Structure 1
Amino acid sequence: MFAPQGPTFRELAVQALSSVERGYDLLAPKFDHTPFRTPDAILTPVSRALQRLGPFDSGLDLCCGTGAGVDVLRQVCRERVTGVDVSAGMLAEGRAHDRAAPGVPRTDWVRADARALPFGPVFDLAVSFGAFGHFLPRERPGLFSQVRSVLRPGGRFVFPIGAPARPGSPGYWTLLAFDAAMRVRNALWRPSFVMYYRTFRLTDVCADLTRTGFDVRLHTLPELGRRPDGSPRCRLVVATRAA
């Protein structure tokens, strides 16, 4: 699962027993060598879809980590890109690899909790990749309200969401075991580390977005293929802030 430059088992164990913020601070220098970074196989199709939806002037990468989503925004935004994350260590890695180039919009790296964003309605586009498992279902409406508050009218909140693993498949049992282990860990250990893979269900997410004031549309990402029943393996959620 991990490249040779990735974290050791001991480092992962220390991270798993830390808070979310502290855990990612520790993991940050080796994060891009782990499977936790969103792969280019997902980032590239999303970038292509955004190019068809754009252009955009300013973009926000929510829970940006070391900046994989920031790189996507740079391809579709003309003026300004902002990455926001709660982990100072992840932001430091993003800044360290940030190399300005002609024609690339300015990038700002901001430390903040996604549940309390320090911006006004200044963005045309917000994206997020792989971070929603860090928020409990009851936190989603507040999180989505925060995103809505920083988008201009007509601004879009866009993110990919994979189809759930089929019951009984190896992926199903893997995710079930991981979430169960995290629940046991959080029941026995403090501080908690919230990361659950099976709580971000498409139907519930779309309902929360609609209640928050978004108009929701789903786009297929054909590059990621289809399941045996013909349904997409991954959809792109495009939530537009209503006026």
Structure 2
Amino acid sequence: MFSQHGPSLRELAVQALSSVERGYDLLAPKFDHTPFRTPDSVLGAVEEELKTLGPFGHGLDLCCGTGAGMDVLRTVCRGSVTGVDFSAGMLAVGREQVRSDGSPRVAWVRADARALPFGPAFDLVVSFGAFGHFLPRELPGLFAQAHSVLRPGGRFVFPIGAPPRPDSAWYWALLGFDAAMRVRNAVRRPPFVMYYRTFRFGDVRRELTRAGFTVEHRALPGFGRRPDGSPRCRLIVATRGSGTPRA
């Protein structure tokens, strides 16, 4: 499915009927051949924006998967780059694919993003395409964790796309996917949390502010604007102040 190197429909079904962790362990060897991987166009646009904000010392890729964002961090960080994910399978693929020689140093850590095993050691935290795996009620804790691992003045940066319009096919496709996922999780355990319509710009900005960040956003060039003039893709730049990190 997707390409000759991608997963089959049967493999995707087995993944969807597993837990999030087990599902991604199974999908990991073929993950980069699916549309679920963050597109290079998005990675490149974020990298260019980070260059205007950096350079940075130590970077963390939150929910790094197979490491698509690690090469972005390696470009803008001088000290070290760390990828954290709770799927051992995704981390194993990342270790094979991302160069770890030279500078900056590269490390891979298996951990839950909701309970990070780090102190305030990073100058930059990024995340790409992972937030659909967290329920809205989990955002305060997730953002508090990102805040807690940043040094004063550190940035938490990630792209967020504009929701599709109700008159588009994508709107109804994503609505249908989320509805099917809710039915699946209502009748089967463990749940597989993956929702495309729960990570909303207004909610994200509010919860980041509550976590102690100063939040700004900028349009990512190259993705254009919607008919109402709003950008199709934004970059959220949340800066940690000098106060005590949130737990």
Query: Partner amino acid for 1:195?
Result: M
Equivalent-residue separation in structure 1 for 2:136 and 2:55 (angstroms): 32
**1:203 is the counterpart of 2:207:** no
**Residue aligned with 1:199, SS:** coil
The equivalent of 2:7 in structure 1 is 7
Between 1:228-237 and 1:179-188, the stretch displaced more is 228-237
The equivalent of 1:87 in structure 2 is 87
1:97 deviation in Å?
Answer: 1.4
Structure 2: gaps spanning 5 or more residues = 243-247
What are the superposed Cα offsets for residues 138-170 of structure 1, whole Å, 9 maximum, x if unpaired? Answer: 000000001100000110000000001111210
What are the superposed Cα offsets for residues 21-55 of structure 1, whole Å, 9 maximum, x if unpaired? Answer: 00000000000000000000100000000000001
What are the superposed Cα offsets for residues 39-92 of structure 1, whole Å, 9 maximum, x if unpaired? Answer: 001000000000000010000000000000111100100010000000000000
**1:105 is the counterpart of 2:107:** no
1:99 deviation in Å?
Answer: 2.1
1:231 deviation in Å?
Answer: 1.4
Equivalent-residue separation in structure 1 for 2:28 and 2:154 (angstroms): 31
The equivalent of 2:43 in structure 1 is 43
**Residue aligned with 1:224, SS:** coil
Between 1:228-237 and 1:24-33, the stretch displaced more is 228-237
The equivalent of 2:245 in structure 1 is none
Whether the 8 Å contact between 2:19 and 2:190 is mirrored in structure 1 is yes
The equivalent of 1:194 in structure 2 is 193
1:228 deviation in Å?
Answer: 2.1
Equivalent-residue separation in structure 2 for 1:109 and 1:59 (angstroms): 12
**1:171 is the counterpart of 2:170:** yes
Equivalent-residue separation in structure 1 for 2:209 and 2:195 (angstroms): 23
The equivalent of 2:153 in structure 1 is 154
Structure 1: gaps spanning 5 or more residues = none
Equivalent-residue separation in structure 1 for 2:108 and 2:74 (angstroms): 13
1:229 deviation in Å?
Answer: 2.2
Query: Partner amino acid for 2:78?
Result: R
The equivalent of 2:32 in structure 1 is 32
| TM-score of the aligned structures, taking structure 2 as reference length | 0.96
The equivalent of 1:22 in structure 2 is 22
Whether the 8 Å contact between 2:71 and 2:98 is mirrored in structure 1 is no
**How many residues are paired up?**
242
1:101 deviation in Å?
Answer: 4.4
1:3 deviation in Å?
Answer: 1.5
The equivalent of 2:214 in structure 1 is 215
The equivalent of 2:130 in structure 1 is 131
Equivalent-residue separation in structure 2 for 1:203 and 1:209 (angstroms): 10
The equivalent of 1:70 in structure 2 is 70
